[in-house]
């Protein structure tokens, strides 16, 4: 294990423990604030297609934001986890068209569009545990979104990369590896922070 991987493991454990301590009331209020601030972000408000995900457990809530984007006529793509940890995609057609899947995930029940479908997105909401002042994101370590980001790079597309977090998950520094990509913005219940030019 490299020093960066070890640092990531320690930071992930600390952040997941902090999330586990959050109250249900806080989670609900945070989700409402995240949706409000997310909809104010031009990259999401003006997008015709957004690749997103359904939050589970104590992740920063995405469902209100998904429903608001969908109601505005935005095409929302949601991931479907493949056996090799890569992601296929399907259109979000409302909460009643989500089904329980492996690892506690909720996935859309509609037709699969293929792993390359994400390349049509104007913005991609990435799950994460932390982001630093440079925009470097710490994911959960499964590698699914590393594949998505590599696929976007290969396709030559440049969608806005946005991560939803709790305010205390914006940290001074996230350990990075050569394959890591910075995000363009982070949305927290406190507001939006942009990175880079």
Residue ranges at the known binding site for ATP: 8-12, 137-145
Please state, in angstroms and rounded to a whole number, the distance separating the CA atoms of residues 174 and 133.
9
| CA–CA dist 54, 150 (Å, integer) | 21
Nearest to 69 by CA among 52, 56, 89: 52
> Given the DSSP bridges, would you call strands 49-51 and 75-81 parallel, antiparallel or unpaired?
parallel
**What is the chain's Cα-based Rg?**
16
Instruction: Write out the binding residues.
Output: 8-12, 54, 59, 137-145
Contact of 158 with 39, CB cutoff 8 Å: no
Start-to-end Cα distance in the chain: 34
The annotation places the binding site for substrate at 54, 59
User: What is the rounded CA–CA span in Å between residue 63 and residue 68?
Assistant: 9
Instruction: State how far the Cα of 86 lies from the Cα of 79, in Å rounded to an integer.
Output: 9
């Amino acid at each position: 294990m490299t020093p960066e991987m070890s640092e990531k493991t320690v930071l992930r454990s600390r952040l997941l423990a902090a999330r586990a301590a959050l109250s249900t009331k806080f989670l609900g209020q945070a989700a409402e604030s995240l949706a409000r601030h997310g909809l104010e972000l031009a990259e999401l408000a003006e997008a015709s297609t957004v690749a997103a995900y359904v939050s589970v457990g104590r992740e920063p809530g995405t469902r209100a934001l998904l429903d608001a984007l969908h109601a505005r006529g935005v095409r929302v793509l949601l991931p479907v986890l493949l056996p090799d940890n890569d992601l296929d995609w399907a259109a979000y057609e409302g909460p009643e068209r989500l089904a329980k899947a492996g690892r506690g995930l909720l996935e859309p029940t509609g037709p699969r569009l293929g792993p390359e479908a994400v390349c049509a997105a104007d913005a991609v909401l990435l799950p994460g545990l932390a982001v630093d002042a440079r925009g470097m994101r710490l994911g959960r370590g499964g590698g699914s979104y590393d594949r998505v980001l590599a696929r976007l790079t290969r396709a030559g597309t440049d969608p806005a990369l946005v991560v939803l977090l709790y305010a205390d998950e914006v940290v001074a520094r996230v350990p990075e590896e050569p394959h890591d990509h910075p995000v363009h913005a982070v949305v927290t219940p406190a507001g939006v922070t942009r990175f880079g030019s």
